[in-house]
Amino acid sequence: MTKSFIECRKLTKRYRKGTIDVTPLEALDLNVAPTEFLALMGPSGSGKTTLLNLLAGVDSPTEGELRIGETDLTRLTRSQLTCWRAEHVGYIFQLYHLMPVLTAFENVELPLLLRPFTRKERIHRVESVLDLVGLGDRMDHRPNELSGGQEQRVAIARALVADPPLLVADEPTGDLDRESATAILELLQCLAGDHGKTIVMVTHDPRAADAADRQLHLEKGRLVHNGEAVVP
């Protein structure tokens, strides 16, 4: 039996909003296999982005266990979690979050500037991932000189440049036309199938979810199937 790359046990996130206790994620169990492309679906407020942020090490759970690879994230300090995230996770956003004054090359290079890479190593990494996403001939273009689909490819290259084993994607096709969205989903499939990345994607779009190896649905912080809570 293949060992899970991601293991969540009774994963819970609570916080206080004014006088109200909010629980966006409650006692969630989840296994994700190495190199699996998983789609998370559910209505707004179902806990999808909360789960994504926990998996990415952006936030920490209130209770439960969260292991990714050989690391128990619940045992890391905030500074350790920041270091772990820089090495192990690439985050892909719906609205790209590119710096408008920087070229595609410079945007992709940003995550490497605080890492112990030489200039030569940075150039090699950036050029390699821009070639991988099909933008080797656009590396000197700024975001306003690129289409939406090309901007998202730059964002994916930026997420890939440190060679993390895990990619998390929050509505990566939500701002794209259908043709561009299809191209991005095919790229994600390639990254999982041919380049060994484990991908967890949040989406509202059933067509996007169909591109994944597996779909799971969240409602009110719990995984459900036909309205019933499940343990995947």
Rounded to whole angstroms, how far apart are CA atoms 122 and 4?
32
Determine, yes or no, domain membership for 59.
yes
Burial annotation 210-221 (CB, 10 A radius, 16+ → b, else e): ebbeebbbbeeb
Q: What's 132's domain CATH number?
A: 3.40.50.300
Determine, yes or no, domain membership for 112.
yes
Residue with tokens 């979810």: 209
Phi, psi at 98, each rounded to 5°:
-90, 150
Determine, yes or no, domain membership for 1.
no
- Ranges of residues in the chain with a pLDDT under 70 are 1-2, 225-232
Phi, psi at 66, each rounded to 5°:
-145, 110
| pLDDT at position 227 | 43
Quote helix, strand, coil % in the chain, to nearest 5.
35, 30, 35
Number of domains in the chain: 1
Rounded to whole angstroms, how far apart are CA atoms 147 and 158?
17
User: Taking the alpha carbons of 216, 222, 228, 232 in that order, is the dihedral positive or negative?
Assistant: positive
| pLDDT at position 225 | 63
The enclosing H or E element of 156 equals helix 148-160
| pLDDT at position 226 | 44
Print the domain residue range for 100. Answer: 6-229
pTM value surpassing 0.85: yes
Determine, yes or no, domain membership for 53.
yes
Residues shown for the chain:
232
| pLDDT at position 230 | 55
Determine, yes or no, domain membership for 19.
yes
**What DSSP string runs through 109-136?**
HGGGTTSS--HHHHHHHHHHHHHHTT-T
| pLDDT at position 52 | 94
